[in-house]
Amino acid sequence: MFSINLLPSVTYISAQEIVNSYDTELWINSLKTNNLTSEYQSIGKTPLGKDLHFFRIGKGSSKGKKVISVMTRQHPPEISGYKAFQAFTGELLKQNEFTEKFFKKYEIWVFPGINPDGVDLGHWRHNFNGVDLNRDWAYYKQPEIDIITEFIVERAKKNHNRIMLSLDFHSTSQDIYYVYDKSFKSKLKNFSRKWTDIIDQGVYPFKTVLSPEPLGKPYSKTWYYKQFKAESITYEVGDETDRAIISKKAGIAAVSMMQLLSQ
């Protein structure tokens, strides 16, 4: 318990750094000078009229490229996951020894905030309609999920893309990788174990739990498998995880993903 002296103006109380949809837009704008990024756009509007942002990281034409989808903040207060998402994306935009080879085959589709209404309202799990968006990926009843899934399917069809991998950044009580259990034969079926091993070695002795799970609930992870046979990993970050570890780990994750997928 703690006491608060309320001021006449509005007082915000927050357990994590506050990052609202405007802050996310400022971050998106700050990337626009990077020549690996392009196609900045709003793919649709939320119930409160906010933009659902998208941009591409890649080189040259999109035609026939393999695709990695990266998204975050289905759940508004999951700031440590958002920090990892930012560090991961930032690292992809730096030149490294794998950049050329990786972007010949792959491009990244970035969805930097798919629940801006929930974020700005300070919701715990829900969007404006009071629904957990990460339980709507089989129903498409919520505009945010309807818009993003249609955008992905249509864009992939138009450019003859193959959706290979989805990364969805979240937060919870500790660092966890939710992966498919071994019975699932995705297009990148050995990727998740190899990748998470490399990340873990890079931040040793910091430990992340590897948690294989069956498909079932209408998570984004289930949708990517059912729709595309894509590999999909829910990248969970502990609420209290040291911010320096979050950045270091996400940086290693970005470079090692490029390394593994450009082989």
Nearer to Zn ion, 78 or 200 (CB): 78
Q: Which SS3 state, helix, strand or coil, does residue 21 take?
A: helix
The answer to whether the beta carbons of residues 85 and 169 sit under 8 Å apart is yes
Nearer to Zn ion, 46 or 80 (CB): 80
Q: Which stretch binds Zn ion (CB under 5 A): 22-30, 73-81, 104-112, 136-144?
A: 73-81
Which contacts qualify for 224-227: CB closer than 8 Å, 24 or more apart?
224/69, 224/163, 224/166, 225/180, 225/184, 225/186, 227/149, 227/153, 227/163
By CB under 5 A, the residues from 76 to 95 that bind Zn ion are 78
Q: Which stretch binds Zn ion (CB under 5 A): 17-25, 43-51, 75-83, 217-225?
A: 75-83
The answer to whether the beta carbons of residues 233 and 166 sit under 8 Å apart is yes
Nearer to Zn ion, 97 or 240 (CB): 240
Q: Which stretch binds Zn ion (CB under 5 A): 82-90, 167-175, 186-194, 216-224?
A: 167-175
The answer to whether the beta carbons of residues 195 and 249 sit under 8 Å apart is no
- Is it true that the peptide bond before 76 is cis, omega within 30 degrees of 0? no
By CB under 5 A, the residues from 180 to 199 that bind Zn ion are none
State the nearest-atom distance from the C-beta of 62 to Zn ion, in Å: 29
Q: What is the DSSP string of 145-174?
A: HHHHHHHHHHHHHHHT-EEEEEEEEEEESS
State the nearest-atom distance from the C-beta of 58 to Zn ion, in Å: 27
Please identify which residue in 75, 126, 221, 249 interacts with Zn ion, judged by CB under 5 A: 75
Q: What value does the CA radius of gyration of the chain take, rounded to a whole number of Å?
A: 18
Query: How many amino acids of this chain bind Zn ion (CB under 5 A)?
Result: 3
Q: Decide: is 170 part of the binding site for Zn ion (CB under 5 A).
A: yes
Binding-site string for Zn ion from residue 122 to residue 161, where x marks contact by CB under 5 A and - marks none: ----------------------------------------
Q: Which residues contact 215 (CB under 8 A, 6 or more apart)?
A: 180, 184, 221, 222, 225, 226
State the nearest-atom distance from the C-beta of 137 to Zn ion, in Å: 13
* Footprint of Zn ion (CB under 5 A): 75, 78, 170
